[in-house]
Amino acid sequence: MKREGVILLVEDNPDDEALTLRALKKNNLANEVVVARDGVEALDYLFGAGAYAGRDVSQLPKLVLLDLNLPRLSGLDVLRRIRLEPTTQILPVVVLTSSKEDRDLVDSYRLGANSYVRKPVDFVEFVEAARQLGLYWLVVNEPPPRVGSV
Amino acid sequence: MSRGNRSRIIRSGSWPLAVFLVFTAAAVWAGQAFFERLKQEQKALAASTLTSVGKLKAEQIRSNFARDERFALSIAQLLGQGGLADWLDGAPSEMPRPLQESLLIVLRNRAGSSLLVLDTTANLRFGAGQFTQLTEEGRRLALRAMAEPRPVSSDIYWGDPSAPEQALLDTFVPIQSSGRDSTVGVIVLRNDLAYLYGLIQTWPVESPTAESFLVRLDGDHALFLNEARFRKQTALRMRVPLSASPDFSGWPSTAAARGQVGIWEARDYLDHAILAYTLPVPGPVSGWGMVVKMDLTEVFAPVQRLKNTTIGVTVSFILLALPALGSWLWLLRRNAEREIAERERIGQINDQLEQRVRERTAELEQANLVLVESETRFRMLVEGVTDYAIFMLDPDGRVASWNAGAERLKGYRADEIIGEHFSRFYPEEDVARGKPAKELEAAASEGRFEDEAWRVRKDGSRFWADVIVTALRDETGQLRGFSKITRDLTLRRQADEAIRQLNEELEQRVRERTQALDASNKELVAFSYSVSHDLRSPLRSIDGFSQVLLEDHGGQLDAEGRAHLERIRAAAQRMGGLIDDLLTLSRITQAELRRQAVDLSALVGKVAEELRRREQDRVVSFAIEPGLVARADPRLLRIALENLLGNAWKFTRHTPEAHVSFGLLQTDGAAAYYVRDNGAGFDMAYADKLFTPFQRLHSPREFEGTGIGLAIVARVIHRHGGEIRAEAAVGQGATMHFTLGPGGAEADREEAKA
């Protein structure tokens, strides 16, 4: 069952990438997942630059899962850009990270993160977290209307 | 001075007393005689007054009755001329109207009088006025008047005997008819005696005791005819027997009744001693007498007053004179004694004076010697001082003395500087500003001046000096000069400078160290961050892919292989817990303590609820003392309570009826919170290891754990300035006691809610 809408996973660690994809899959979240391996790549995808030049940027992902500790451009910088650009201003962004530093939490929410989830060590717990995330953001939550149509 | 002389001088003081006593006795005797004579004169004066008054009153009474009689006669004459005779002759009938009217006119002019007309047989034919009755005695007197014929008077009697108030007296006058030349009747003029009594009782001058009254013979008694002044109801009632002796009360009335004329000293009806004058009164009937009297006390009153005054004045004078006399005597005596003492003393003083002159001379010689010695010593001392420049200035500022210290300090020898002005010790710029003169002025006005400044030596080099200038004044306050003490502080100033530099260096080093610390702190924070983030990632991979292995390839492994994979996962998770706890520990150390009111009871309740939710199959009863509010950092305290309650929860796992309680306990005068469980407990021998990181008292097989929990709790408590201790026994549960430091005093519950 192919769901409508793309999930943009911004994650540099391939292990984490694999585990996250598995967790999503285990929960039958069949949306297409686009993986960006650093901050720059994530922005390229969102704004149709670099490797993604010419992409129809009006097709926004349904959800962005954003790691904070990224090479080149950090997760917080990515979030800042997303919130600065009118087209992505209201895009749902869930921070998915190992850190539970207060500073990261506060900065993320201050920059407009919609949610903050700490990746647990226990994979069973992580699967449960992914289930709840997917259920909420992809099924329960009503996404914002497309910016272009407003 | 002989003893005889001495007593003679003292005795000579007593003669004035004798003179005083003799004069006093003479004065008393003369005074007594004088007052006796005055009394006799006063009595004679009173007697003459009484006599005059008595005679005057007797004459007034007489003329009064004579006037009444004349009046009656004139009425009778008037009636004799009219038609009265015919009316009286005729059968009894009403008096003709004209006659009646003329009689009434006559009566109208005599208030209180009554008028009766009787016929020749003394029958009453007409009556006008208040009293118109006729007694038998009245008829007898009327007949007598007609028979003689001449006016006849009755004696005094009561107008109404049943109410003896109004005394009356009748005058009977025969009426001669002018036509017939015979007596045709009697007219009775009946007079009220109130007027007469008034006449008797009035006294010409004001007198407290004087009175006069009428008496007459009444058998062998004297009868009072009118009311006495000092006793009522005496008129026609009070009697005194004629046989009474002259000292009997009221005796003068008997003398008066007997018609005796004279002055008497006797006793009156009040038994007062009186002076009385008696005389017969020529009244309408014979036998009337009058007593005119006055109390002797009144007679002698002026004399008595004079006597009292005199005695008073005299006694006062004597009383006043006695102390004066005494003082005078005492003075005489004292002067005499002083004279003696003085003569004796002068001799002694002379001796003493000579002795003291000798002693004083010796003392002065001695003091002079000491002074010379001390001055020498002092001068040598000052001259010998080499560390201080000590020298004197005259009032103008020229050097007057110089010591070795001054020579050493300033470089001048005494012979080349004495007489020179002291401003040469100052740097040029100070001299230009007039500083030397100002310092002397300040010392002169304040008494003392202190300064720290540069001074100049003879060779022109400068030194940092501590200077004290003191003004010197003589006993009269005249400025005699200044003393100046100068000390070279150059070395000290250099030392101060060195210290200042050291301090600066020290501060610089502190700044550098602080910066270094700040930097290392930042590194530490960065390290923590990377621990939190980077160390956990591999663990997640280990755990995650172990799980993947189990899920995807579990079938290719036997049970033992799967168990190994589970162990790998458990280890990875335990390490994740360790990292988390270590991070917490480091965060607690760094975090700023923010105290606010915390409802501990509510917080414990929440944590307990969390534990129950996490392991719903366990049954643990919680007893939480309500309403415990403290001032603490709520975040840190929550971490501490989570650990404490988590331990209690954990270590009661094998206890059948698990029970955890929280509350506040007063022990040894201090209040401490406690978390108690009835779980596994521990051996108190290892209690000191309890709060050290990674120290565990149970094997992981028994109870899982990182060994950091209580270290975290202890750090939270210590951050609050509080203390924590454990109390336990193996198999009997454990109690953790903790306090929250001086700032943790119980707070308001409402505040905590707010």
Q: What is the pLDDT of residues B368-426, one digit of tens each?
A: 888 888 888 877 777 777 778 888 899 888 998 888 888 888 889 889 999 999 988 99
Residues of chain B with Cβ-Cβ distance to A16 below 8 Å are 537, 540-541
A121-130, B119-128, B421-430, B579-588, range with the lowest pLDDT: B579-588
The pLDDT confidence band at residue A80, using thresholds 50, 70 and 90, is very high
| Amino acid identity, position A43 | L
What tokens does B19 get? 């003179």
Nearest CA-CA partner of B273 in B302, B248, B308, B243: B248
Task: Read off the pLDDT of residues B70-106 as tens digits, 9 standing for 90 and up.
Answer: 888 888 887 777 677 778 877 777 888 888 887 888 7
Which among B533, B573, B580 is the nearest to A122, CB-wise?
B573
- CA of A123 vs chain B CAs: smallest distance (Å): 5
pLDDT score for B646: 92
B540·A69 Cβ contact <8 A: no
Instruction: Pick the more confident residue, B162 or B25.
Output: B25
What tokens does B663 get? 């509350």
Nearest CA-CA partner of B591 in B542, B656, B640, B550: B640
Which among A15, A99, A122 is the nearest to B529, CB-wise?
A99
**Average of per-residue pLDDT across B157-161:** 80
Between A and B, how many CB-CB pairs are < 8 A?
62
Residues of chain A with Cβ-Cβ distance to B544 below 8 Å are 15, 19, 22, 123, 126
Q: How far apart are CA A133 and CA A149, in angstroms?
A: 27
Residue located via tokens 């660690």: A13
pLDDT score for A1: 41
**Average of per-residue pLDDT across B491-519:** 88
Sequence-distant (≥ 6) Cβ neighbours of residue B99 within 8 angstroms: B79, B82, B83, B84, B87
Cβ–Cβ contact A74 with B under 8 A: no
Task: Read off the pLDDT of residues B660-710 as tens digits, 9 standing for 90 and up.
Answer: 999 998 877 778 899 999 988 888 888 878 888 777 777 777 777 777 888
Task: Read off the pLDDT of residues B640-658 as tens digits, 9 standing for 90 and up.
Answer: 999 999 999 999 988 889 9
A123·B529 Cβ contact <8 A: no
ipTM for the assembly = 0.81
Cβ–Cβ contact A109 with B under 8 A: no
- CA of B612 vs chain A CAs: smallest distance (Å): 19
Residues of chain B with Cβ-Cβ distance to A24 below 8 Å are none
CB atoms within 10 A of CB B727: 14
Sequence-distant (≥ 6) Cβ neighbours of residue B744 within 8 angstroms: B595, B630, B631, B632, B720, B721, B722
Which among B532, B540, B575 is the nearest to A100, CB-wise?
B532
DSSP letters for B653-686? TT-TT-EEEEEEEEETTEEEEEEEE-S----GGG
Cα Rg of chain B, angstroms: 73
The backbone region for A88, taken as left when phi is positive above 0, alpha when psi lies in -120 to 50, beta otherwise, is: alpha
Cβ–Cβ contact B132 with A under 8 A: no
Residues of chain A with Cβ-Cβ distance to B580 below 8 Å are 100
- CA of A2 vs chain B CAs: smallest distance (Å): 23
pLDDT score for A2: 45
Nearest CA-CA partner of A93 in A143, A50, A51, A58: A143
Residue located via tokens 């392991």: B615
Q: Torsion angle of alpha carbons A55, A59, A63, A68, nearest 10°?
A: 30
- H helices within B82-214, ranges in order? 84-89, 97-108, 136-147, 194-201
Cβ–Cβ contact A119 with B under 8 A: yes
Residue B282 Cα distances to A31, B59, B62, B65, B536, angstroms: 174, 8, 6, 9, 167
Q: How far apart are CA B285 and CA B225, in angstroms?
A: 13
pLDDT score for B599: 92
Nearest CA-CA partner of B392 in B443, B345, B342: B443
| Element containing residue B340 per DSSP (H, E) | helix B296-384
| Element containing residue B79 per DSSP (H, E) | helix B15-81
pLDDT reading at B621 higher than 80: yes
pLDDT score for B5: 53
Residues of chain A with Cβ-Cβ distance to B573 below 8 Å are 121-122
Strand, coil or helix: B535: helix
Maximal CA-CA distance, chain B: 207
Cβ–Cβ contact B569 with A under 8 A: yes
The pLDDT confidence band at residue A149, using thresholds 50, 70 and 90, is very low
Q: How far apart are CA B176 and CA B715, in angstroms?
A: 162
Q: How far apart are CA B191 and CA B48, in angstroms?
A: 33
Task: Read off the pLDDT of residues B11-21 as tens digits, 9 standing for 90 and up.
Answer: 555 676 788 78
| Interface probe with A: pick from B536, B565, B569, B582, most Cβ of A within 10 Å | B536
Reduced DSSP (H G I as helix, E B as strand, rest coil) percent helix, strand, coil of chain A, to 5 = 40, 15, 45
| Element containing residue B68 per DSSP (H, E) | helix B15-81
Q: How far apart are CA B542 and CA B537, in angstroms?
A: 9
A120·B576 Cβ contact <8 A: yes
Q: How far apart are the first and last CA of chain B?
A: 111
Q: How far apart are CA B132 and CA B115, in angstroms?
A: 7
Q: How far apart are CA A68 and CA A75, in angstroms?
A: 4
The backbone region for B173, taken as left when phi is positive above 0, alpha when psi lies in -120 to 50, beta otherwise, is: beta
Domains and CATH numbers, chain A: 6-140 (3.40.50.2300)
| Amino acid identity, position B134 | L
Sequence-distant (≥ 6) Cβ neighbours of residue B589 within 8 angstroms: B715, B719
Q: How far apart are CA A14 and CA B10, in angstroms?
A: 144
Task: Read off the pLDDT of residues B202-251 as tens digits, 9 standing for 90 and up.
Answer: 887 788 888 888 898 888 888 888 888 888 888 888 888 888 888 888 88
Cβ–Cβ contact B536 with A under 8 A: yes
The partner residues of B662 in beta bridges, in order of sequence, read B624, B675
CB-based burial of residue B199 (10 Å sphere; 0-12 exposed, 13-18 middle, 19+ buried)?
middle
Q: How far apart are CA A79 and CA A113, in angstroms?
A: 7
Residues of chain A with Cβ-Cβ distance to B541 below 8 Å are 13, 15-16, 19
Mean pLDDT over the full length of chain B: 85
Task: Read off the pLDDT of residues B702-733 as tens digits, 9 standing for 90 and up.
Answer: 777 777 888 889 989 988 888 898 888 888 88
- Specify whether the CB–CB gap between B706 and B577 falls below 8 A: yes
pLDDT reading at B1 higher than 50: no
B533·A15 Cβ contact <8 A: no
A100·B543 Cβ contact <8 A: no
Residue located via tokens 């005078």: B328
Residue located via tokens 């038994």: B271
Among A residues 33-62, those touching chain B with beta carbons less than 8 Å apart:
none
pLDDT reading at B150 higher than 80: yes
Residues of chain B with Cβ-Cβ distance to A98 below 8 Å are 532-534, 536-537, 540
B310-319, B630-639, B660-669, B689-698, range with the lowest pLDDT: B689-698
Cβ–Cβ contact A16 with B under 8 A: yes
Which among A98, A100, A126 is the nearest to B537, CB-wise?
A98
pLDDT score for A53: 86
- Specify whether the CB–CB gap between B715 and B585 falls below 8 A: yes
A123·B533 Cβ contact <8 A: no
Q: How far apart are CA B738 and CA B665, in angstroms?
A: 10
The pLDDT confidence band at residue B193, using thresholds 50, 70 and 90, is confident
Residues of chain A with Cβ-Cβ distance to B536 below 8 Å are 98, 119, 121
Instruction: Pick the more confident residue, B747 or B473.
Output: B473
Q: How far apart are CA B742 and CA B747, in angstroms?
A: 12
pLDDT score for B327: 86
- Specify whether the CB–CB gap between B576 and A54 falls below 8 A: no
A124·B533 Cβ contact <8 A: no
| Amino acid identity, position B447 | G
Angle at B572 between CA B567 and CA B578, to 5 degrees: 125
Residues of chain B with Cβ-Cβ distance to A68 below 8 Å are 533
**Average of per-residue pLDDT across B298-324:** 86
Instruction: Pick the more confident residue, B202 or B455.
Output: B455
